[in-house]
């Protein structure tokens, strides 16, 4: 019986690209000669449960979870998308009197998803206003469109967005909102990781991703993902990103 390998994607991808990941999965299967099933999880918690149960073999992971995947589960980071960093945008309603992060007051209602790296970076940025989890009101939502909705409906005073998700909002929505600040931590990015069950295929997978734009239909698949291409990640670069995330977690 042929082994089926599971591919999954960090739940913070933009909805516009969901079909792109299914196309990518088909392309990957064809070029690797492996049977791969793409499983999408509704939440980070559900995805982490699958990882802990060793059901995941390949993952496009957020940098927060990369630390656990590499150091606890034996995954290897092989590639990252070109020119896409995980920056956090802090946003308020357009009519808000808040002009700078420092203007925010204790008790502020903060809308965020369960995207761990963006929430982490966002909370660090709020420290400029002496805000922390003990003196804000958290407004948890299931996606970045719902962060925008919470701001527009007056249920939140400020919201955290992954920059890619903020850029993907419609102009009509963005006109009703106003970004205060965007983080500039260009060294934290999502990455494509390969698990222990596919250890023997790491070099093949890395080479395939890096050459994706040159391979038949690869350029079109990249476009459907919103990527320019992939660049190889080596061990030192992976360790640097993980150390940086661990430093931010300790802030």
* Residue 169 shares a structural domain with residue 133: yes
* Residue 81 shares a structural domain with residue 193: yes
Q: How confident is the model at residue 129 (pLDDT cuts 50, 70, 90)?
A: very high
The pLDDT value recorded for residue 222 is 93
Segment 211-239, tens digit of pLDDT? 999 988 999 999 999 889 999 998 888 88
- Locate 212 and state its tokens: 């994706």
Instruction: Give 151's strand partners.
Output: none
Instruction: Count Cα atoms within 13 angstroms, Cβ side, for 198.
Output: 29
- Locate 184 and state its tokens: 């500039």
> How long a stretch of residues is the chain?
251
Structural domain count of the chain:
2
Last residue of a domain, one of 166, 182, 198: 182
pTM exceeds 0.85 for this model:
no
For 10, the domain range is: 4-85+186-249
As a whole number of Å, the CA-based R_g of the chain is 19
- Is 62 a residue whose pLDDT tops 90? no
- Is 8 a residue whose pLDDT tops 70? yes
Last residue of a domain, one of 129, 162, 182: 182
Alpha-carbon distance 213 to 208, whole Å? 9
* Residue 65 shares a structural domain with residue 92: no
* Residue 161 shares a structural domain with residue 94: yes
The pLDDT value recorded for residue 80 is 92
Distances (CA, A) of 152 to 25, 146, 147, 165, 175: 36, 10, 9, 16, 11
* Residue 137 shares a structural domain with residue 176: yes
Last residue of a domain, one of 182, 216, 236: 182
Distances (CA, A) of 137 to 4, 67, 105, 128: 44, 28, 11, 17
* Residue 172 shares a structural domain with residue 92: yes
Segment 133-144, tens digit of pLDDT? 899 999 999 889
* Torsion angle defined by CA atoms of residues 249, 14, 54 and 65, in that order, rounded to the nearest 10 degrees: -10
The pLDDT value recorded for residue 248 is 72
* Residue 101 shares a structural domain with residue 64: no
The CATH number given to whatever domain includes residue 168 is: 3.40.190.10
Alpha-carbon distance 154 to 2, whole Å? 53
The pLDDT value recorded for residue 1 is 63
* Residue 38 shares a structural domain with residue 63: yes
Q: How confident is the model at residue 243 (pLDDT cuts 50, 70, 90)?
A: confident
* Residue 126 shares a structural domain with residue 67: no
* Residue 9 shares a structural domain with residue 31: yes
Segment 164-195, tens digit of pLDDT? 889 889 999 999 999 999 988 767 788 999 99
* Residue 39 shares a structural domain with residue 92: no
Q: What is the DSSP string of 73-99?
A: T--EEEEEETT----EEEEEETT-S--
Segment 68-110, tens digit of pLDDT? 899 899 999 999 998 777 789 999 999 999 999 999 999 999 9
The DSSP 8-state label assigned to residue 154 in this structure reads T
Q: How confident is the model at residue 244 (pLDDT cuts 50, 70, 90)?
A: confident
* Residue 46 shares a structural domain with residue 92: no
The pLDDT value recorded for residue 251 is 57
User: Alpha helix locations (H) across the chain?
Assistant: 18-32, 44-52, 63-71, 116-126, 144-152, 163-168, 171-174, 202-210, 218-225, 235-249
């Amino acid at each position: 019986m042929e082994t089926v390998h599971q591919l999954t994607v960090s739940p913070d991808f933009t909805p516009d690209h969901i079909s792109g990941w299914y196309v990518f999965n088909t392309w990957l299967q064809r070029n690797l000669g492996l049977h791969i099933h793409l499983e999408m999880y509704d939440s980070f918690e559900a995805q982490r449960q699958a990882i802990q149960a060793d059901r995941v073999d390949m993952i496009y992971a957020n940098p927060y979870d990369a630390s656990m995947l590499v150091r606890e589960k034996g995954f290897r980071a092989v590639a990252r998308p070109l020119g896409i960093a995980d920056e956090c945008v802090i946003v308020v309603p357009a009519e808000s009197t808040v002009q700078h992060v420092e203007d925010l007051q204790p008790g502020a209602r903060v809308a965020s998803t369960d995207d761990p790296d963006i929430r982490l970076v966002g909370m660090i940025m709020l420290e400029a206003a002496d805000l922390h989890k003990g003196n804000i009101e958290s407004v948890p939502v299931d996606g970045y469109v719902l962060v925008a909705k919470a701001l527009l409906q007056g249920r939140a005073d400020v919201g955290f967005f992954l920059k890619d998700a903020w850029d993907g909002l419609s102009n009509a929505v963005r006109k009703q909102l106003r970004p205060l600040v965007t983080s500039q931590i260009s060294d934290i990015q999502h990455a494509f990781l390969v698990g222990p069950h596919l250890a023997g295929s790491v070099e093949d997978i890395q080479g395939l991703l890096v050459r994706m734009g040159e391979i038949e239909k690869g350029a079109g698949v990249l476009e459907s993902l919103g990527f320019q291409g992939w660049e190889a990640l080596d061990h030192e670069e992976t360790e640097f990103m993980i150390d940086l995330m661990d430093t931010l977690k300790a802030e």
